[in-house]
């Protein structure tokens, strides 16, 4: 018998679904220079110094195979209006970029035009995470694209969105120094 208790898969999904996340599309170019990508909620800021982020692709992900081969990826943070685009990148469709507005960045990565933010990285380390990989990326370049856009959220297995406007200033708190993703006096949430 295992030393660990049995955890029901449905309960795992239901309980973890209470943790609301943003959604990204993680992209790269394939060996044939075709753009490749997948919808990914398991993205997080990891370290400020050095600048690192992480995401967790399933071990069967074809996009991850391409990213591993290329050694580089772009994280596109999705905006509220990009639900359809997200569904497309969350499917196993062949050409997920068909109909999407994108361009080739100066770091030679496919970047979605209407995302909220873009973070371009090189693969730094890959750690085994059960049925997923934990991919740690070194940030090479980053930019906020939309000035006042609002993020697309994923909550309890469904798309969601935030209520307050992004242009409301965030109150400054000294203890925010300890957070990786926060604002300073001269920026806005």
Ligand X SMILES: Cc1cc2nc3c(=O)[nH]c(=O)nc-3n(C[C@H](O)[C@H](O)[C@H](O)COP(=O)(O)O)c2cc1C
Point out which residues bind ligand X (CB under 6 A). 23, 38-42, 56-58, 61-63, 86, 90-92, 154
Residue number with CB closer to ligand X (40 or 139): 40
Query: By C-alpha distance, which of 115, 99, 32, 93 is closest to 66?
Result: 32
The smaller minimum CB distance to ligand X, of residues 40 and 109, is found at 40
Q: Rounded to an integer, what distance in angstroms lies between the CA atom of residue 11 and that of residue 42?
A: 18
Nearer to ligand X, 61 or 118 (CB): 61
Q: How far apart are the first and last CA of the chain?
A: 49
Helix or strand run (H / E) with residue 36: strand 35-40
CA 104 to CA 88: how far, in whole Å? Answer: 20
Distance CA 72, CA 170 (A): 33
- The least distance separating ligand X from the CB of residue 184, rounded to whole angstroms, comes to 29
CB of residue 170 vs ligand X: minimum separation in angstroms? 26
Considering the complex, what minimum distance in angstroms separates the CB of residue 187 from ligand X? 27
Of the two residues 5 and 9, which places its CB atom closer to ligand X in the complex?
9
> By beta-carbon distance, which residue lies closest to ligand X?
90
Distance of alpha carbon 89 from alpha carbon 31, whole angstroms: 19
- Nearest distance, CB of residue 84 and ligand X, angstroms: 11
Distance of closest approach, residue 39 Cβ to ligand X, in angstroms: 4
Cβ closer to ligand X: 97 or 154? Answer: 154
Task: Give bridge partners of residue 45 from the DSSP assignment.
Answer: 53
């Amino acid at each position: 018998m295992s030393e660990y208790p049995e955890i029901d898969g449905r309960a795992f999904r239901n309980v973890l679904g209470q943790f609301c996340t943003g959604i990204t599309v993680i992209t790269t170019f394939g060996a044939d220079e075709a753009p490749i990508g997948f919808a990914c909620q398991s993205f997080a800021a990891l370290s400020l110094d050095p600048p690192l982020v992480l995401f967790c692709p399933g071990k069967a992900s074809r996009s991850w195979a391409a990213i591993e081969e290329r050694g580089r990826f772009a994280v596109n943070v999705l905006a509220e209006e990009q639900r359809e685009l997200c569904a497309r990148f969350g499917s196993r469709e062949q050409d997920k970029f068909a109909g999407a507005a994108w361009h080739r960045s100066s770091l030679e990565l496919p970047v979605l035009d209407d995302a909220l933010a873009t973070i371009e990285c090189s693969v730094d380390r890959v750690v085994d995470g059960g049925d997923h990989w934990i991919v740690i990326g070194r940030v090479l370049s980053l930019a906020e694209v939309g000035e006042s856009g609002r993020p697309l959220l994923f909550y309890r297995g469904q798309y969601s969105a935030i209520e307050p406007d992004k242009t409301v200033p965030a109150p400054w708190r000294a203890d925010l120094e300890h957070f990786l993703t926060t604002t300073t006096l001269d920026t806005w949430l």
